[in-house]
Structures are given as C-alpha cells and as structure tokens.
C-alpha cells in the first residue's frame, strides 16, 4: 500500500463524516515564543480526538462479509469512542474489550456512541491483557480487529490530519509537534509531509512515563512507544523521518493544560497537551518560525482541577513534599519550621508516619515556596543539620489531591 495515496483516498472518504477541524493561531503561545504558533484543533473532532479518522478509515473499507461478521476492538478510551461511533454510523456490530478497572463513565460513553451496535466487555487487569483477549477473540471467531495504530488503513485515516493542515495554510511550516501514544498519527503525518512538505521538522511528543516504562523490563504494559514490535514495517520509516522524539513529565502537561484553559478557554485531557508542552524544549529555535501543534483529547469541562494544579506546582518547584526524620520528635519539627524555612515559605500541613526506628519520628511536610530556588536553601540547611530527609514525588503521598 502506498501510504500517501491511501491517505488521500481516506481523506475523501472521511468528508461528511468527520469534522474538518480548524487550524487556529494561538495568540498566547505566539507571543510567548515570538513565533507564529498554530493549533490544529483535533480536540474539536466529533469524539474529541483524531482517533475517529483512523477508525472510520478502517471500518468503512471492510468487505461486506467482514462488516456482517462484526468487528473487535480494544485500546484506550479515545480510540474506542471512535470505533463505537463508526459502528453506529455504519450499522456494524462491534465487541469492545476494556480492562476490568475501566470506569463506569467511560463505558457509558462508549455505549452511548455505539448504541445497540456495540457490546462492551470488561476483561483483563491491564490494557495489555484486554488487548490480548480481544485479539484472541478476533482470531478465534474470524472477526476483523480494529487496532488502535498498527494498521495501514488506521494510519491512512489519521494521516488525513496532515493533509488538512497543509490545505489550511499557505505558509511553509518549519516545525510540527505531533502527540505520539501509539504512533499511527505520527506515521501518517510523516508519510504526508515527506511528499508535500519535506523541509518541515516533525517532532513526536510522548509522556515521560512511557520512557520510564520502557526502561523497566519488569513493568508490563501496552506498548505506547510507537510501532516497535508491531507487525507494520512503517516504524522504521517513521523514526528515519522524525526530526526528534521528546518526552514530557506529567507536571509539565498539567501546567500546559491549565495555561491553555486560562488564556484561550481550550479544555484538554492531560495527554491532549503533549504537543504544546514540547514547545518549551525548542524555545530557542522557534523565534520567527511557523509552528503547528496538533491538539487532541478534548473535554467539555476541565476535570480534577485541584490535582492538575498540585502536579503543576510540583513541576514548577512551588510545592514540595519532604519526609524528615526527627530524633527529638515534634520539637525538632518546630525548629525546622521556625529556623530553617524562610519567611516566604509555608508549611500547609504535616503529619506523622511510622518510622523504621523507634528513636526518631518521621514527619511528612507539604511546603509552598514563593520561588522555585528556595528549596535549595532548605535542602542545604537540612544537610548541615544532619537530619535525614527524602523529597517525595509519588502521588500517593499527596493527600490534598487524593
């Protein structure tokens, strides 16, 4: 299959079904980076994600027999919503597998889009396990499997995003930032831009947690790092034509979600802010350039704002969680608060936890600092006092957002 030709065909098939999402200049980001920053608003797609494009491209091109037999799917919620919407529109029966821990609200959303054409089955403790069960069902019952990314027809549908971008601007695009979870969108964008805009630097943006999972062989999860290990040969083409792959920590993503909502009232899931978060990593190269960021994973309303704000403050260095061992218990804690903290630092709460040693008392503090640099003075004072301490990063310690 010639992917560029397939993408052009998919774009024609999608007309009248998907929305041609706008390409908008973002005033706030343009001023921040002294560049022309445009946002491809895939968050405004019918299911708030570009995933709908790939799902329709795949299901609509199945043979009449395949459509009659029905389809199988399993993945993250945005892909499954797209699949469900297509099943209803094309009158194709679909069986969708989700992990047992999937929330009721996510399942109801899928059902509401698929109506009587979709059956949702909870199976498997993880997304990887649910995917394996779904693929087994597909093989056993000879039903077409609608993969979230490892399928040329899926990639062709998602590539239509790139064709739309190039039709919506006459200016040469210097940088294009693409969210990359599965890799289907990135592969499609590469195929289109290699032909029509070969000088554009394409940067794939991934969550930092993907990098951490990849480096830990003991953690088994669905492969979100691209088409590695997938049956499609396009992965090699993808990495050869990408200018770069960058990884964004969760706190950075939360900061971007909050800033975009504040300045432009655009509401995204955390993963939807991958592309704009990467701009900070390229700030010194963007001045005077034409830049496009693909947004996705839109929301009608910003959710869990307290959690977003807390993770953002942690990333910005304005909030810190410290676990300190005090030989003299609460007296030592008072000394820490009164003598080690600066006037513009504040302890918003603290609580005692079980210590490994009966001769010390372990206390966890939540600190708010006026400036990110303040923590260095606090750590220096703690080191000079010979107190044992740890900086806590895991969310389980953050009681205010649990």
Domain boundaries, the chain: 3-50+152-306, 53-145, 317-401
Q: Which H helix or E strand runs over 315? A: helix 305-316
Query: Which of these, 370, 313, 363, lies nearest to 341 by C-alpha position?
Result: 370
pLDDT > 90 in the chain, percent: 61
Residue 41 pLDDT exceeds 70:
yes
Which of 56-65, 189-198, 261-270, 347-356 is least confident?
A: 347-356
87-92 CB contacts, 8 Å cutoff, 24+ apart: 87/59, 87/114, 87/117, 87/118, 88/113, 88/114, 88/115, 88/117, 88/118, 89/17, 89/56, 90/59, 90/60, 91/117, 92/59, 92/62, 92/67, 92/117
* CATH of span 317-401: 3.30.70.260
Distance CA 87, CA 312 (A): 38
* pLDDT tops 60 at residue 397: no
Please, are residues 234 and 209 in contact by the beta-carbon 8 Å criterion? no
Mean of all residue pLDDT scores within the chain = 87
Per DSSP, helices labelled H in 317-372 are: 330-335
Place 402 in a pLDDT band, splitting at 50, 70 and 90. very low
In the predicted structure, residue 35 carries a pLDDT above the cut 90? yes
Provide the H-helix boundaries in 15-76. Answer: 27-33, 51-60, 64-69
399 vs 34: CA distance, rounded Å:
39
Longest dimension (CA), the chain: 77
**pLDDT at residue 234 above 90?**
no
Which of 104-113, 255-264, 339-348 has the weakest average pLDDT? 339-348
Asked whether the domain spanning 53-145 has the same topology as the one spanning 3-50+152-306, the reply is yes
For residue 397, what are the CA distances in angstroms to 216, 323, 360, 363, 366?
22, 10, 20, 12, 10
- Quickly name the fold that domain 3-50+152-306 has: Rossmann fold (3.40.50)
Predicted local distance difference test score (pLDDT) of residue 228? 46
Q: Given CATH 2.20.25.90, say whether it is the number of domain 53-145.
A: no
Q: Are the C-beta atoms of 86 and 59 separated by less than 8 Å?
A: yes
pLDDT band for 221, please (50, 70, 90 cuts).
Answer: very low
Phi, psi of 30 (to 5 degrees): -60, -40
| Cβ atoms 182, 148 nearer than 8 A | yes
CB-based contact 11:160 (threshold 8 Å)? yes
Distance set, CA 9 to CA 5, 59, 159, 350 (Å): 6, 14, 10, 60
Confidence band (pLDDT; 50, 70, 90) for 328?
confident
Quote the pTM value: 0.86
Helix orientation angle between 51-60 and 77-90, rounded to the nearest 10 degrees? 40
Rounded CA separation 201/219 (Å): 33
Distance CA 114, CA 120 (A): 10
pLDDT average, residue stretch 280-298: 96
Rounded Cα distance, 262 and 271, in Å: 17
Angle in degrees, 0-180, between the axes of helices 184-196 and 152-168, rounded to the nearest 10: 50
Contacts with 85 (C-beta within 8 Å, 6 or more apart), sequence order: 46, 47, 52, 55, 113, 114
What pLDDT is stored for residue 225 in this prediction?
40
Write the DSSP string, 87-152: HHHHT--EEEEE-TT--HHHHHHHHHHHGGGEEEEE--SSHHHHHHHHHHHHHHHT-EE--SSSSH
């Amino acid at each position: 299959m010639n992917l560029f030709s397939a993408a052009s065909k998919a774009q024609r098939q999608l007309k009248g079904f998907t929305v041609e999402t706008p390409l908008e200049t973002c005033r706030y980001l343009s001023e921040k980076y002294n560049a022309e920053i445009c946002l491809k608003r895939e968050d405004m797609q019918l299911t708030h994600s570009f995933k709908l494009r790939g799902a329709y491209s795949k299901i609509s091109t199945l043979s009449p027999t395949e459509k009659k037999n029905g389809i199988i799917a399993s993945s993250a919620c945005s892909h499954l919503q797209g699949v469900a919407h297509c099943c209803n529109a094309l009158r194709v029966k679909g069986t969708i597998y989700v992990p047992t821990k999937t929330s009721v609200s996510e399942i109801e959303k899928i059902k509401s889009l698929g109506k009587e054409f979709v059956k949702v089955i909870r199976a498997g403790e993880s997304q990887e396990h649910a995917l394996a069960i779904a693929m087994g069902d597909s093989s056993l019952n000879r039903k077409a499997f609608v993969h979230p990314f490892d399928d040329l027809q899926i990639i062709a549908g998602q590539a239509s995003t790139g064709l739309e971008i190039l039709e919506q601007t006459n200016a040469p695009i210097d940088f294009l930032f693409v969210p990359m979870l599965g890799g289907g969108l990135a592969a499609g964008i590469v195929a289109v831009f290699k032909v029509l805009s070969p000088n554009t630097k394409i940067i794939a943006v991934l969550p930092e947690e993907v990098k951490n999972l990849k480096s830990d062989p003991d953690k088994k999860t669905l492969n979100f790092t691209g088409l590695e290990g997938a049956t499609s040969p396009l992965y090699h083409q993808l990495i050869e034509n990408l200018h770069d792959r960058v990884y964004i920590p969760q706190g950075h993503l939360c900061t971007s979600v909050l800033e975009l909502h504040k300045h432009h009232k655009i509401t995204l899931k955390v993963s939807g802010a991958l592309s704009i978060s990467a701009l900070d990593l390229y700030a010194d190269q963007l001045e005077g350039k034409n830049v496009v960021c693909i947004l996705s994973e839109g929301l009608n309303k910003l959710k869990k704002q307290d959690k977003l704000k807390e993770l953002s403050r942690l990333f910005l260095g304005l909030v810190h969680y410290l676990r300190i061992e005090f030989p003299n218990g609460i007296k030592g804690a008072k000394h820490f608060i009164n003598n080690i903290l600066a006037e513009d630092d504040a302890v918003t709460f603290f609580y005692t936890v079980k210590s490994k040693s009966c001769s010390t008392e372990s206390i966890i503090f939540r600190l708010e600092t006026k400036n990110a640099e303040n923590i260095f003075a606090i750590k220096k004072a703690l080191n000079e006092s010979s107190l044992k301490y740890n900086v806590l990063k895991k969310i389980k310690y953050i009681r205010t957002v649990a």
